[in-house]
Amino acid sequence: MNAAAASQPLRVGGVPEHLNLPWYRFVEGGGAVRWVDQPGGTGEMVRGLADGSLDAAGVLTEGAGAAIAGGNPARIVARYLGSPLRWGVHVAAASRFADEASLADARFAVSRPGSGSQLMAHVLAARLGFSIPPARFVEVGTLEGARAALAEGRADAFLWDRFMTSPLVASGEWRRIGEQPTPWPAFVVVATPEVLAGRMDDLWDALHRVWDEARNLMTDPDAVPAIAERFGLPLDEADAWFDSVRRGHPAPVGPAVIDG
């Protein structure tokens, strides 16, 4: 890594959602990183790590593992969330699909190939005893893209964080016909080889300060209304998420995971 690159703030990516509020608070408080919203989710982040537009990112555990297994040079360096992610299974309000079991022939919207929304669709299908061929995945880019695809009939179902989609369910735009939790802790921090080689002290400093923000958040009596207001969540949904989340201390993961 050249001296000019090493002097720049780390570019850290993450989804613009409730779980990253500690990062937002850290950055808004003067933290020395450049936060980059990634509305396209895991697929967008692993692409950014591969092409050098990101230095680190908070990535779904399953997406990070799949990307590394597929040749992405980035590596997992720490846990971020110790609790699973609760993926809602969503269809349009007027959809013919009534429940999870009816989805065997459905077309699934996914943010990008290899994204969490695609991987968790496979997990859902495996639990229900069917498979999803490649032709039945419809790339939509973002949550807004999924809304358009379901409304226009280009896709039938979409898996996304059930808390972030709760306003769409409450409004009647979508129905939630099931839920698929991850069978593992939800999020890890992933960094590029350049960061591992020369800027891990910077990243660890940021992670420990984000962890401090997370601990402060968990004891803040105003945290739930702040989450609901900032991310447009119903208060009861923000409260349910807040009660379920477990933060993973930013300790290094084992060598076997880092080595892919």
Q: What is the pLDDT of residues 216-256, one digit of tens each?
A: 988 899 999 999 999 988 999 899 888 887 665 555 554 34
State pTM to two decimals.
0.74
Beta pairing class for 86-92 and 174-181: antiparallel
Cα 2 to chain centroid, rounded = 31
Phi and psi dihedrals of 46, rounded to 5?
-65, -30
- Which among 160, 161, 165 is positioned nearest to 234, based on CA atoms? 165
- Which among 203, 202, 175, 205 is positioned nearest to 189, based on CA atoms? 203
Range with the lowest mean pLDDT among 70-74, 83-87, 132-136, 192-196? 83-87
